[in-house]
Structure 1
Amino acid sequence: MGKNKTGGMGTGKKVALIIVAIIFALILGGGLYAYSYIQNTMNKMDKVDISDNAQDLGITENKNGEIVNIALYGIDAAEGETGRSDSIMILTLDNVHNRIKLTSVMRDSYVDIAGHGMDKINHAYAFGGPELAIRTLNENFGLNITDFMSVNFTSMPEIIDMLGGVSIDITDEEIATGQIPGLYQSGTQLLTGDQALAYSRIRYASGNDFKRTERQRTVLNALVVKMIQQPVTSYPGLISDLAPYITTSLSNQEMLDMTTKYGALAKQGIKQNRFPQDDDANGQMIDGVYYLVFDIPTVREKMDAYIFQDQSV
């Protein structure tokens, strides 16, 4: 994967999960239309080069090349700025254990950022763009990430509305917060894009940031279900509509290769987790700032077991 230079990103927030739905469309529908059509569609994505040097990306361990990890970011930034990664996920394409996994990394995680010391992991993107953000994941958690995808915050409602909304099971507590516009009863509800965005951002309910990342994954699952329910012949059109919202370091050929290599896995759904887990972390105020503090080697070991060895942790 040839990369050369860090580039800037668009605005976005808490929506890396949307990328996975788009990847599913790529994987499931990529082989339906002519090669030139797919190429033209992928050309609508914003391409950004990053280094292909393992040291630059913080890769220090030899990992099984059949287990590919891609960093997914939802970026919070004004136009023309780099911004922080308010949503951080790792998409794992695993042909060894026949799995696709989605791992959330808590944005307040207190980690070592090269050149900046200990800080929140979501600041790495603001400090050095996608290259430093990837390096931070690799160095702290022993990963082998070489590529990323990100999506604009403002695109989330529009993308969901393109798919006709998503069905989400809403609790009484979530309704009581009054944070989902136009929704007044619990149970399974078809949410519009704006409602789904509001749902994923609920703050004043039990579970805090841990529960918010769970809601993000809930929206993801609903999106994947909705994507798979679409007629297969509609996938190329969906890709064409959604592609302009994506920024990525993946080349067209790399994405095309995904359609053949991981197509069968995509139909099986996604295995999900998040790190650090409840028992491994605690919130602390350090110099007046809230951080999620944990023993990095312990979490690193658990992530390795989950991502590379397919163990339950």
Structure 2
Amino acid sequence: MGSRREKTNKKKMIKKRRFKRVLILIGIAVLASFAYVNAHLNNIKTVSISKKNEDLGIKDEEDGREVINIALFGGDSRKEGDVVHSDAIMVLSIDKAHKKVKLSSIMRDTYVDIHKHGKTKLNHAYAYGGPELAIRTINENFNLNIRDYAFVDFYSFEKLVDAVGGVDVDIKDMEVKEINRCIKEIAELKKTKPILIKNSGMNHLNGEQAVAYSRIRKVGGGDFERTERQRRVINELFEKGKNVDITKYPKILDSILPYVETSLSKTEIMKLGTYVLTNNIQSIEQNRFPTDEHSEGQFIGDIWYLVTDLDETEKEIHDFIYENMEESNIN
């Protein structure tokens, strides 16, 4: 009887030891992964901006709702020393209340009030006062609570596309000539040979072609469709990123991080990334503002602006970001 108990106790002890070893190995693996990512995050250019509500134009903290809003800016500087206008303006929302990630494009030509600069196009704010004024302008005109931003130059964005093996995009007949014009322009700036698109329909785009596609604005719905193209490429990247081989992570991190500028700390970036991964978020819901219903193009003087009912647009943005307003169709 005693020996049976001893054998049972021995087995339990062995199981406990094995379990502890497994936990230790898992812990080491997790720590190693975090240490690796943490080390690569040193490649990001971190910029400090004011956190004061007054400086950022924050009026309402949204009553403690569990939504983190981050401004995303895409620049289009052609050469060093160029004044950067934010040609792509988006709000990335981590919605913890509904466990969703949402992406809102805001039209760059939207007629808004910029602190100390009067009424003009939204994308001028970045040129006038960098990310802090750009954030303030979005917050004050649409009553948001953005505190942080990330900025990526369009021409370095191609490196991320190439790192995941390119993206598949359906090119319309009317877009072929324009995408090839943009490809040639980018290739000329880089002094490389352009790889042109031969036919419309589904095409597998490399980084340079994807950037050119995202810049098309002279055909179709102009800047309206341009924002859709930008979101479409981001959505394709998100889908590719979910299935990418873990061994490619180092290449992806090395490709994109040196070209990212942000006010987020390494800890904040890791927390947000961990939240998205651990909550198994499988898609990005997307929309564009102002909507057609509450905006129209107008010439004021000799300049074309997108004039919107700011109160209605604020309401629609809030419904999408904080509630469950239906996303727009980007296909």
Does TM, scored on the shorter chain, surpass 0.5? yes
> Offset at 1:32?
7.6
Partner residue, 1:226 = 240
Shift of 1:287: 1.5
1:70 offset after TM fit, Å? 0.3
Alpha carbons 1:107, 1:122 under 8 Å: kept: yes
Runs of 4+ more than 4 Å apart = none
Query: Are 1:45 and 2:59 an aligned pair?
Result: no
CA distance in 2, matches of 1:97, 1:34: 28
Give the conservation status (yes or no) of the 8 Å contact 1:32–1:233.
no
Q: CA–CA distance in 2 between the matches of 1:311 and 1:196?
A: 29
Q: Which has the higher helix share?
A: 2
In the alignment of these two chains, the number of paired residues is: 284
Counterpart of 2:317 in structure 1: which amino acid?
M
Match of 1:99 in 2: 100
Q: Answer whether contact 1:110 1:120 (CA < 8 A) is retained.
A: yes
Which TM-score applies when normalising by structure 1?
A: 0.85
Between the aligned partners of 1:175 and 1:39, the Cα distance in structure 2 is 41
1:310–1:32 CA distance, 2 compared to 1 (3 A): farther
Q: Superposition pairs for residues 205-284 of structure 1, below 5 Å?
A: 205-265=219-279, 267-284=281-298
Deviation of the 1:235 alpha carbon: 2.5
Q: Could you tell me which amino acid in structure 2 is paired with residue 138 of structure 1?
A: N
- Which range moves more in the overlay, 153-162 or 86-95? 153-162
- Report the equivalent of 1:163: 164
CA contact (8 A) 2:76 2:155 kept: no
Shift, 1:303, TM fit: 0.7
> Which one scores higher on RCO, CA 8 angstroms, separation ≥ 6?
1
Is this contact kept in 1: 2:156–2:256, CA < 8 A?
A: no
Distance 1:231 1:144, change over 3 A: same
Equivalent residue, structure 1, for 2:307:
293
1:250: how far off? Answer: 0.3
CA–CA distance in 2 between the matches of 1:31 and 1:132? 39
Which residue matches 2:76?
Answer: 76
- How far is 1:34 from its partner? 3.6
Matched residue SS, 2:312 = helix
Return closer, same or farther for 1:207/1:96 CA change in 2, 3 Å cut-off: same
Instruction: Name the aligned partner's letter for residue 37 of structure 2.
Output: I
Q: Which amino acid aligns with 2:58?
A: I
Q: CA deviation at 1:85?
A: 0.7
Instruction: Report deviation, 1:59.
Output: 0.5
Moved more, 184-193 or 288-297: 184-193
Deviation at 1:133, TM superposition (A): 0.3
CA distance in 2, matches of 1:81, 1:38: 32
How far the C-alpha of 1:272 sits from its partner, in A, is 0.2
Q: CA deviation at 1:201?
A: 1.7
Residues 43-192 of structure 1 correspond to what in structure 2 (within 5 A)? 43-63=42-62, 64-77=64-77, 78-80=79-81, 82-177=83-178, 178-179=180-181, 182-192=196-206
SS in 2 for 1:228: helix
Q: State the 1:232 CA deviation.
A: 3.1
- Structure 2 segments unaligned to the other structure (5+ residues): 1-28, 184-194
Distance in 1, matches of 2:290 and 2:280, equals 26
Match of 2:320 in 1: 306
Displacement after TM superposition at 1:156 (Å): 2.2
Distance apart, 1:241 and its partner CA: 2.9
TM-score by length of 2: 0.81
Q: 2:218 aligns with which of 204, 209, 228?
A: 204
For residues 287 and 154 of structure 1, the distance between their equivalents in structure 2, rounded to whole angstroms, comes to 33
**Matched AA of 1:55:** E
Over residues 157-193 of structure 1, what are the superposed CA-to-partner deviations in whole Å (9 max), with x where a residue is unaligned? 2221222211111122222545465212122111111
Instruction: Please state whether the residue corresponding to 1:268 is helix, strand or coil.
Output: coil
- CA separation in 1, counterparts of 2:220 and 2:164? 30
Between structure 1 and structure 2, the one with the greater Rg is 2
Alpha-carbon distance, 1:311 to partner: 2.1
